[in-house]
Amino acid sequence: MKRSIWGRRAASLLSLVLAMSMMLTGISAAEGGKKAKDGELTGKSAVEISAMMGLGWNLGNTFDATGGTVGDVYSQESSWGNPRVTEELIDAVSKAGFQTIRIPVTWNNHAGKFNDHVINEDFMNRIQEVVDYAYSRGMFVILNVHHESWINTGKLIENKPHIAYRLSRIWEQIAERFADYDQHLIFEGMNEPRLAGTSIEWTGKPEAYEVVNYLDQVFVSTVRSNTKGHNQERCLMVPGYAASNSSAILDSINLPTWNGEVAKNLMVSVHSYSPYDFCLSDNQKDFNPSNPSDTGAIDQMYVNLKEMFLEQGIPVVLGETSATSKNNTEARERWAKYAGMKTAQYGIPMVIWDNGNNSNEGGESHAYIDRKTCEWNYPTVIQAAIEGMQSVTWGEALGGGGNSGVGSTEGTVIWSDDNGLTVNQAWNADSFALSAKSSYFAEGREIAVTYTGNGGIQLVMDSEVKQAWWIPVPPTRVEDKDGKHVAYFSYETMMNELQKFNVAGSEVRRMCFIVETAGLTFEKVVATGDFVSVIYKVNGQQYATGTELPADPQVDGLKFDGWYTTKNYQPGTEFTGAEGLTSDVVVYAKLALELNF
């Protein structure tokens, strides 16, 4: 994903949740000072905090700028064209209904290499001053490490020890300075860690995913090692590679541990600018919420987040999202309303990217407020996002829907909907897409799809691992049962097509069902077979399969401490063997780190 110096992103949220969170926490804005003593927030879980965070706004292209003069505290925040941050600006953001502010910070110019990365005191004071602007108003504040060239580098893999040490030193100092700030302050370990400047900058590769997992562990261990103030309960946001929402990268995330146990109060950080041509380029001016081509990528992201994290009690924060301006305010309103509706349905706080660039071209025009006058440039876009959130019940998508993963006499139900899903656009890969698991592609197993209507279907598979985006598979056979069609895709048929692209079943991340004639209605997708498949994952990657426990994995810099059926290693989910299993399962290696820098 291309980025200019104008950076990016976006969001929206529910005024009802905002009001409820104020009631729950008893927040009262303090006159000056950093803390509203009567509104101290403590003892909450990350899930509870995420439900209180409300609509968020990014102070983009400011402290995350990389220009300016080293030693001049104020020159960096204005080096990309934005004025110095004022209390009036943050007050305007707060009064507009935003409950969260994300403050991206690039520390590089003010954390010298030759003094063990000690952060300049004046710069730290300035960051704290702006944090206080929001904190004293009862807002949630996300403070992070942003455009750091020593993290975002083509040498991310080979520089792993140096990056880990420097990251730990910076977070040691931040955790110490802000220890007494309560749970209104959230730390985000990194922004979009990636192989910058390479041909795979935004997609990465498994070795880079593993480094990001390691750095997330270093960040969490560093903050939790500081026992002062609220650091033991502070919510910590961890990204996957590039903070991407791609299914392959989301699936690669390995949540950090602390003291050999699940690290409490973690949130997964995800960014989304979908659809790309509408949100981050000048190529698409319109957005139609009834067109799956416009909404498909958004919908698929939330399905993936639900399956991989939300259903396991792991909260997610959409830390950046936005749609660039190109004289298309009404289209952006439609996008914002749809985005607001989806994020509220899944119970995910959304933080709008604002970079202060109020132009109408170039893909990076995300200035929702005039930072000099503190007047809103696009108030109707913000209002549309809030209206979208208010149109649904917060988190309603987590309470039911399809029966993904439920065992039955037919096999494992991948997806079902009693009301059916009608696809009205032929040959559209985004109309009906599902995430794919390795267990679906096992010898003797078939994928069976039940649908009604006249016309054929095909299965199309994507592999982000191999960069193969369209692998079509015709049905092995189609049977008619009780007035419905059932299309079967056998293991042999799928493998034959995958082999043409040098893709293994374990490397498929998404599968779509393409209709050859518009108007077909899908009812159920099942992976047939009554056998059990166990997939062992280490550091976000498949390590072994089978019902027998594999040899203990050896991971550089980390200690293996058992297999678990949940990503966050909850007590009671230890996996010691396949005996008694009645359905497929994925188990995860718990990895621990002892800081020894």
Give dist(CA 318, CA 495) in Å, integer.
36
The active-site residue out of 148, 172, 188, 192 is 192
3-state secondary structure of 215: helix
Give dist(CA 59, CA 354) in Å, integer.
6
Cα–Cα nearest to 359, from 369, 351, 347, 367: 367
Peptide bond into 161 cis (omega under 30): no
Q: Is 192 a catalytic residue?
A: yes
Cα–Cα nearest to 460, from 515, 512, 527: 512
3-state secondary structure labels for all residues of 296-354 = HHHHHHHHHHHHHCHHHCCCEEEEEECCCCCCCHHHHHHHHHHHHHHHHHCCCCEEECC
Give dist(CA 114, CA 70) in Å, integer.
14
The active-site residue out of 188, 201, 210, 320 is 320
The structure tokens listed for 570 are 């909850």
**Strands of 453-519, DSSP E:** 457-463, 468-473, 477-481, 484-490, 510-515
Residues found in the chain: 597
Angle CA(2)–CA(76)–CA(107) in degrees, nearest 5?
A: 75
**170: Cβ–Cβ under 8 A, 6 or more apart, which residues?**
107, 111, 117, 119, 145
Quote the distance between the C-alpha of residue 183 and its chain's center: 21
| CB-CB contact of 231 with 179 (8 Å) | yes
| CB-CB contact of 462 with 473 (8 Å) | no
DSSP states of 133-199: HHHTTT-EEEEE--S-TTTSSTTTTTTHHHHHHHHHHHHHHHHHHTTT--TTEEEES-S----TTST
The structure tokens listed for 423 are 């696809």
Which residues are catalytically annotated? Answer: 192, 320
